[in-house]
Structure 1
Amino acid sequence: MNGKLVAGGLVLTAALAGAAVWWLQLHAFYDPVAFQPGEEIRLTPILGEVPEVIIADEVTGIDAASSPLRFRACFTTPLSQAMLTETYRVYPDPTPLNAPPWFDCFDARRIDQALRTGEAIAFLSERDIAPGVDRVVAVFSDGRAYAWHQLHPEDQ
C-alpha cells in the first residue's frame, strides 16, 4: 500500500511540475508591448545606420523580460513593398519564431512560407536591439506586417 502512495505522489508531483512549466513558458512572462505613438516600428535605411520610423497602424505586440527573443508584433502599413525595398535594408535569412498560441495574429509558419515564396519581404528593423539580436519586420504586399527578434544570421 505504501508503494502505491509513493508512486501516486510522484506522478502527481510530475503532473503539477509539467503544468507549471507549460504555464510559465506560454503565459507567465509575456506582457503587452506599449508602443509610443509615432515610434511603433522602425526600419534601417539602405544608406545609414539609424533606424527610421515608418507608418504602422493597428500595432499590437508582446514581449518578455526573460528573453530578448520573445518579442512579436503584428501591424499594417500603407507603404508598398517596392518603396520599402528601395529605401530600407532587406534582411538576409529571416526566420520568424513561434509565438504563444494565444497571440493568434502571429503565425510564424505562414510568415516563413510567405518569405520563402516572395509573398512577403523581410527588412532589418534594428540591429542589436539586444546584444546579438536583431529586430526583423516582414511586410506582405497587402500591407500586413509582422515583427520579431532573432539572432544575427552570422551568429546562428
Structure 2
Amino acid sequence: MAQNITGKIMVAFIVVTALFAGGLLYYTQVYAYYYEVTATGTDDVQLTGMVSGLPETILYEDFRAIDADSSPIRYRACFTTPSPADQLRDTYKLYPGAEPRVAPSWFDCFNAEAIGEDLAAGRAVAFTGQRNITYGIDRVVAVTQDGHGYIWHEINECGDKAYDGTPLGDDCPERE
C-alpha cells in the first residue's frame, strides 16, 4: 500500500515538473526575451539605394518593432508608407528569396505567412534594408502595394558559412 502511494506521488511530481518546465520554456520563447523597440522617428525604416549602395531612410508612419538580445534574427517591425512599392522598386535594391520569420502571436501586426503569400503573389516587394546589420545578418524590408511594410532579419550566405564552419571566401566581409 505504501509503495502504491509513493508511486503515485512520484508520477504526480514528474507530471507537475514537466508541466512547469514546458510552461517556462513556452514563456521564454514567446515572451521573456523580447522587448519593444523605441522608434527614433527618423531612421527606423531604411532601404539600400541602388546608386549609393547605402541605407537610405524612406517615408514611414505607424512604426512598431520588437527585438531580443538572445538572437540577431528576432527583430520584427511593421509600418506604413505613402511610397508605392513599384516606385521604391526603381530606386532601391531588391532582396531575392526573402522569407519572413514568424513573430510571436502577441505581435499581431506581423503575420509571416501572409507576408510570404504577398511576396509570392507579387502583392509585396522585398528590399535590402541593410546588408550585414550584424555580421552574417541582413535586414529585409517588404512593402505591399497598399503601403504596409514589414521588417525582419535573415541570415545571409556569409552568415550561413560562418555558422556552419565553412570557409568564408572572398565575397564575405571581414569579421569584426
Say whether the fold is shared (TM-score over 0.5).
yes
User: Which residue does 1:113 correspond to in 2?
Assistant: 117
User: Which residue does 1:85 correspond to in 2?
Assistant: 89
Out of 93, 118, 131, the position equivalent to 1:127 is 131
Where in structure 2 are the equivalents of 1:1-156 lying within 5 Å?
A: 1-153=5-157, 155=160
CA RMSD of aligned residues (A): 1.2
User: Does the CA contact (< 8 Å) of 1:137 and 1:146 recur in 2?
Assistant: yes
Distance in 1 between the 2:50 and 2:61 partners? 23
- Deviation at residue 129 of structure 1 after TM alignment: 1.1
User: Does the CA contact (< 8 Å) of 2:76 and 2:153 recur in 1?
Assistant: yes
Unaligned runs of 5+ in 1: none
Letter in 2 for 1:82: D
Indicate the percent of aligned positions where both proteins have the same amino acid: 42
Cα distance per residue 1:2-21 (max 9 Å; x no partner): 11111110111011000000
Q: Secondary structure at the match of 1:61?
A: strand
Say how many residue pairs are matched: 156
Which gives a bigger RCO, structure 1 or 2 (Cα 8 Å, sep 6+)? Answer: 1
Distance in 1 between the 2:117 and 2:137 partners? 22
Distance in 2 between the 1:153 and 1:44 partners? 18
User: Does the CA contact (< 8 Å) of 1:92 and 1:153 recur in 2?
Assistant: no
Letter in 1 for 2:76: R
User: Which residue does 2:165 correspond to in 1?
Assistant: none
Structure with higher Rg: it is 2
Distance in 2 between the 1:153 and 1:120 partners? 23
What is the TM-score of this pair, normalised by structure 2? 0.86
Distance in 2 between the 1:62 and 1:129 partners? 16
